[in-house]
Structure formats: C-alpha cells, structure tokens
C-alpha cells in the first residue's frame, strides 16, 4: 500500500488531506492478520493460521467459509442461552451433554486469548521483552502506531475530545439506573474484592505496568504480595492467619498488631485499622466484609486439615489451605459469579477435567484491556443501605466501624438485598467516582488503545456501522459523532459504557464478549486446574478436595457467620420490591462533596 492508498482511506473517512504515515495505521490486515511495514509506505499482512489469505487476509479458506456461514452471532447464542428455560433444565440434568457444552464454552472463549502473550504497552510487535517482562500488563492488540494521522490510526478527528467532557457528558449519573438483571451489591463488592488480587496498576511507572507478582488467582489480596507481608499476617501456628476476636467473632488483626502497610487516612482510629492482604481494602466496608469472610474460611479449613493430618507442620497446613481457597474461589467465580453475569439458563460448571484432552496452556497474563474494561463503577448506588441505616459515600469510606457494628451476617444480607446499577447504556457513573472514569479514559489514551470497533473485530464481533448502532438511540449518538467524527474512532472504554445493553441485561454485547474470554482463560489457566495439580493429594486428601468441589457463595458465608445463615445472593431476591425501595431512596444525586475522588486514586489504587 502506498500514500495514494492512504489518501483514499482518509477521504473515505472524512479527511481531505493525507500525510506520510505508517501504512499499518489504517489497520489493513483483517481477521487477526498481523501488519508488518515494508519501507516507509508499504505493508505486508501475515495471515498464517488465521483461516484467511490474500493481501489483507480477507479471503476465507473453504473450511473457514463454511464455519463462518454456520456460526451463529454472539447475540444469537446469548438469546438461546438466556431463553428456553425448560430445555436448559433438561440439558443441565444430562451430565454428558452439560459437560460437552461446558467444554465448548471454555475452549471457544479461552482460545480467543493469546497464550503465550504477544504485546505490551511498549511493544507493538512480538519480542522477548513483551513475553518475559512480568512487570507489564500484556496487550491483546498492539498500540496504535505513534506516527498515525489520528489517535485511532486514520479514522476520526486529529485530536480526541476532552476526557473530562466525555466523562461528564456521557458517563456521569443523572439519575440512578438500577440493573434490570437484578444484580446486588453483594456482587459489586465481590467483583471489586476478587479482581484486585491481579489488577494492581503501578502508577509510578505508568498505566501499562502492574505491581503484582502474579497474573491470576493467587489470593494475594488475602495473603499479601510477597513473603514479608505474608509472614506478618500469619500466626505461624497450625497454618493459620492472625486474627482478633470482637463480640465473639473473628476479625482481621489491626495494623498496630501486625505492622503491615495499609492505606488509611489519619482520622481512622487505630482499633479500626484492620490489616489484610491488600493494602487498600480498608477503603469500603464491602471489601473488608469479604476479607473477613476469607480470613475465617482460611482458619476454618486449617482446623479441618489439622484433624486430618496431625503430623503436618504449620507450613504444610498453610500452603495446602491456600490451594484449597484458590480452588474455592475459582468454583464460586464460575458457578455463582459468572453464572449470574451471563444470565444463562445453562448451568455453568467448574470441572478442570473437561480440558484435560484439549490444547490448553496453564499460564496466564493479565492484559491492560481486561484491567480497563473491568471499571464497573456504575454498579455502585447513590447511598448504601445496611439494616435500617443509610450511609453516604462520605460516611461509608474508610469506616470499618460499620463492619463491627453491623457484623458480617447483617452486611451480607443488606448487600444481597440492595440492587446495583446498570453498567451499559451510559450516564450511570456516580459523581463520587467520576474522577476514576476520567482517569480510565486518560490512561487508555496514554497506552494508545485501538478503537472499540478494532476490539470488536478481534473478539469475533461485527464492527458497529454508526454511533446510533452503538448506543441504540439518537441523541447521544449525534453528540458522540460530533465529538469523534467517525464510529471507527470511538474509544474502547467510554464505548463499553455507552453501548446499548442487551435486553434486560447489565452489560452490552462487547463487554461480555471481551470480558468472558479473559475471565475464563485466567480462571482455568490456574495451575491448580492442570492435570498435575487437580487431584485429592494436592488439597490434603479427599476431605480438602471435597471442600473445593462443594463450595458455593452461600456455603462459604453460612460456614463463617454465627447464628442463622443470612440471605446470600448476587441477585436481589425480591427484585421488584427492592428496586422500588432503592429507586425511591436513591433518585437524588450523590453530592460531589461526599467524596474527594483523589482519595480513591491515592496509593496507586486507581482500579478501585
């Protein structure tokens, strides 16, 4: 391709000028073909193993053509899986059919993620540094080349609209929009708690870097990053973690007790500065609630292993318990968390053996795109309802007294009964955390993410043809078109939040079709899911293996609270009643004065 070809593309996208530019700026290579420059104005597409050939990898091979003709669209698959409940009830009770479908779900999703990793924020081509340097998040698509006519390559205007304007005009909540899928705050806090064991951006180096030593489910948010913090949190007896008893129940120790760094403002009393694996989990009571539940579960499992193996020392009990909790976490995420997210009538199943005869790599790298798309701040309500009390953001933040005064059981039940916000559709980010959304846009630009349509194509979706196609309405679409100039210039992160939601769903198509492959690859790529690890002896024998294989969100909570088990659910139990109550008490805007947004960014925790 030469500069004349560049001119044709630019004119077709609304430009009247052309300049000497990287010929790969126009993203000429389709269907996962790799663009490589040849001189200043020529390119070559590598179509190897894409199933396509030709100059731009656009001509399908016969088998590829047949597959694409027969393959239903993602929205068709979603419709089938979220309807025909009677049919799926039958499938769920026929083990070999359920296993076959679950195996297909895992492999079809996971194979969309490159393993080993390919790019990072510094390199838009494959090299050893991009593969081996674990301090970087990996990248699914290479950065937009620096010498392109526009920020998105060749599409759109020469400059992107102001990030603050985008956040305030299209993302800021005007009125609380409840999730029609019935998602609860119990889900919202689980998402925040679970993901921050691997989303740990190192903002001192930049948004492309992670502070985490691991790139998956390692429970570092429970045990700490590195041995020094881990040993300070451990009791070093019977494999247990340190704790303190309050009102007859187990809670985390304080910072004063264990001398580990936690991010608390000066006004927090010493007795309320709980110390856990993640240094920022004192931020909100929902995070400390989960941290406390997992602390109790760890020590509970230790007691079981001590009975089974009185000959084991502290170290073996601790290490085996950690593996059991990793297994419990993955099972809960797949069978409770992802199950709820999907809205499927098909019952998902955590069974590593389903992949033992598949081509599968038991390793994982967290990508910058996964980290970015998981900024689900619209989930948050305007205020937080616990028992008969209502808390503003100002009252809720860094307030562990809420955890002690209400107790874990009451927190669980209250969060299970309060509805979360809808993520897709735009204009539902609470004012209190709008600054984080703005930073997400700025960081995406700093990392030179490709457009939303580029990611849709990468994850086997058709690109949107217009802003109205993206949003499903006219007003917002017209405003976006005026600011961006062309649909192929729409940025990924704001695009995900303004995308029209699927019918009666929390997300739009792109969020689900991008997020699910990252999630399932990260979960099933864990070492405990490999043939070498997935056996009873890894978990201390049949008893430990049974703990992993029978856990659920409800069981986890019920075994770790005093008294009767509370309502435990990622779905609001009586949605209509709860939605009405929530809307009535949440229609007023959260005041910006309720929270200084920079508090959330303090201590390199912008993901929070």
Q: Which residues participate in catalysis according to the annotation?
A: 196, 374
Burial annotation 406-423 (CB, 10 A radius, 16+ → b, else e):
bbbbbbbbbbbbbbbbbb
Rounded Cα distance between 578 and 593, Å, is: 27
Secondary structure percentages of the chain, helix, strand, coil, to 5 = 50, 10, 45
User: How buried is 543 (Cβ within 10 angstroms: 0-12 exposed, 13-18 middle, 19+ buried)?
Assistant: middle
Q: Report phi then psi at 362, rounded to 5.
A: -90, 70
Strands of 475-560, DSSP E: none
Rounded Cα distance between 198 and 83, Å, is: 34
DSSP-derived secondary structure for 557-587: HHTTSSSS-----SB-TTHHHHHHHHHHHH-
Rounded Cα distance between 52 and 61, Å, is: 6
- How far separated are the first and last CA of the chain, in Å rounded? 44
- A 10 A CB-CB count for 370 gives 23
Task: Answer whether 435's CB lies under 8 Å from 606's CB.
Answer: no
Task: Answer whether 198's CB lies under 8 Å from 599's CB.
Answer: no
178, β-bridge pairs: 421
Rounded Cα distance between 55 and 47, Å, is: 9
Rounded Cα distance between 326 and 321, Å, is: 9
DSSP 334: I
Tokens, residue 233? 């949190």
39, β-bridge pairs: none
Q: Is 225 helix (H, G, I), strand (E, B) or coil?
A: coil
Rounded Cα distance between 71 and 76, Å, is: 10
Residue 72: left if φ>0, alpha if ψ -120 to 50, beta else—which one? beta
Rounded Cα distance between 140 and 143, Å, is: 9
């Amino acid at each position: 391709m030469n500069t004349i070809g560049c001119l044709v593309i630019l004119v077709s996208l609304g430009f009247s000028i052309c300049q000497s530019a990287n010929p790969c700026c126009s993203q000429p290579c389709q269907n996962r073909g790799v663009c490589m420059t040849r001189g200043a104005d020529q390119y070559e597409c590598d179509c190897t193993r894409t199933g396509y050939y030709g100059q731009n990898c656009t001509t399908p091979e016969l088998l590829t053509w047949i597959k694409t003709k027969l393959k239903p669209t993602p929205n068709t698959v979603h419709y089938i899986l979220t309807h025909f409940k009677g049919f799926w009830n039958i499938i769920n009770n026929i083990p070999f059919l359920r296993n076959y479908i679950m195996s297909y779900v895992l492999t079809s999703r996971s194979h969309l993620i490159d393993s080993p990793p390919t790019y990072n924020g510094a390199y838009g081509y494959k090299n050893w540094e991009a593969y081996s340097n674990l301090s970087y998040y990996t990248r699914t698509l290479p950065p937009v080349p620096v010498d392109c006519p526009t920020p998105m390559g060749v599409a759109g205007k020469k400059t992107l609209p102001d990030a603050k304007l985008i956040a305030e005009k299209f993302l800021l909540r005007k009125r609380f929009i409840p999730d029609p899928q019935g998602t609860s705050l119990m889900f919202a806090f689980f998402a925040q708690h679970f993901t921050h064991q691997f989303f740990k951006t190192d903002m001192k180096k930049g948004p492309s870097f992670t502070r985490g030593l691991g790139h998956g489910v390692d429970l570092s948010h429970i045990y700490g990053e590195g041995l020094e913090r881990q040993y300070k949190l451990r009791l070093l007896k019977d494999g247990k973690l340190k704790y303190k008893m309050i009102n007859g129940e187990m809670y985390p120790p304080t910072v004063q007790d264990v001398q580990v760094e936690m991010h608390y403002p000066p006004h927090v009393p010493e007795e309320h500065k709980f110390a856990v694996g993640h240094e920022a989990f004192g931020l909100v009571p929902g995070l400390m609630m989960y941290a406390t539940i997992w602390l109790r579960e760890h020590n509970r499992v230790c007691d079981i292993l001590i009975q089974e193996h009185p000959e084991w020392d502290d170290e073996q009990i601790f290490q085996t318990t950690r593996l059991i909790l990793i297994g419990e976490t993955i099972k809960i995420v797949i069978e409770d968390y992802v199950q709820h997210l999907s809205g499927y009538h098909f019952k998902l199943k955590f069974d590593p053996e389903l992949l033992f005869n598949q081509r599968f790599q038991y390793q994982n790298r967290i990508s910058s795109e996964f980290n970015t798309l998981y900024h689900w701040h619209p989930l948050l309500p305007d205020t937080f309802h616990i028992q008969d009390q209502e808390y503003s953001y100002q009252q809720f933040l860094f307030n562990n007294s809420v955890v002690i005064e209400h107790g874990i059981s009451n927190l669980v039940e209250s969060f299970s009964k309060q509805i979360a916000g809808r993520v897709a559709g735009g204009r539902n980010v609470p004012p209190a955390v709008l600054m984080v959304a703005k930073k997400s846009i700025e960081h995406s630009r700093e990392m030179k993410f490709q457009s939303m349509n580029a990611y849709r194509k990468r994850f086997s979706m058709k690109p949107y043809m217009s802003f109205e196609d993206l949003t499903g309405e006219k007003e917002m679409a017209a405003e976006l078109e005026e600011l961006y100039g062309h649909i192929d210039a729409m940025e990924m992160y704001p695009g995900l939040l303004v995308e029209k939601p699927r019918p009666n769903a929390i997300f739009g198509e792109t969020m689900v079709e991008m997020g699910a492959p990252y999630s399932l690859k990260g979960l099933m790529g864990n070492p405990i899911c490999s043939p070498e690890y997935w056996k009873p002896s890894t978990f201390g024998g049949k008893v430990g293996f049974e703990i992993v294989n029978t856990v659920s969100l409800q069981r986890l909570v019920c075994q770790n609270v005093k008294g009767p088990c509370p309502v435990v659910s990622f779905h609001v139990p009586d949605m209509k009643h709860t939605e009405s109550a929530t809307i009535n008490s949440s229609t007023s805007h959260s005041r910006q004065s309720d929270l200084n947004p920079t508090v959330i960014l303090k201590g390199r925790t912008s993901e929070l």
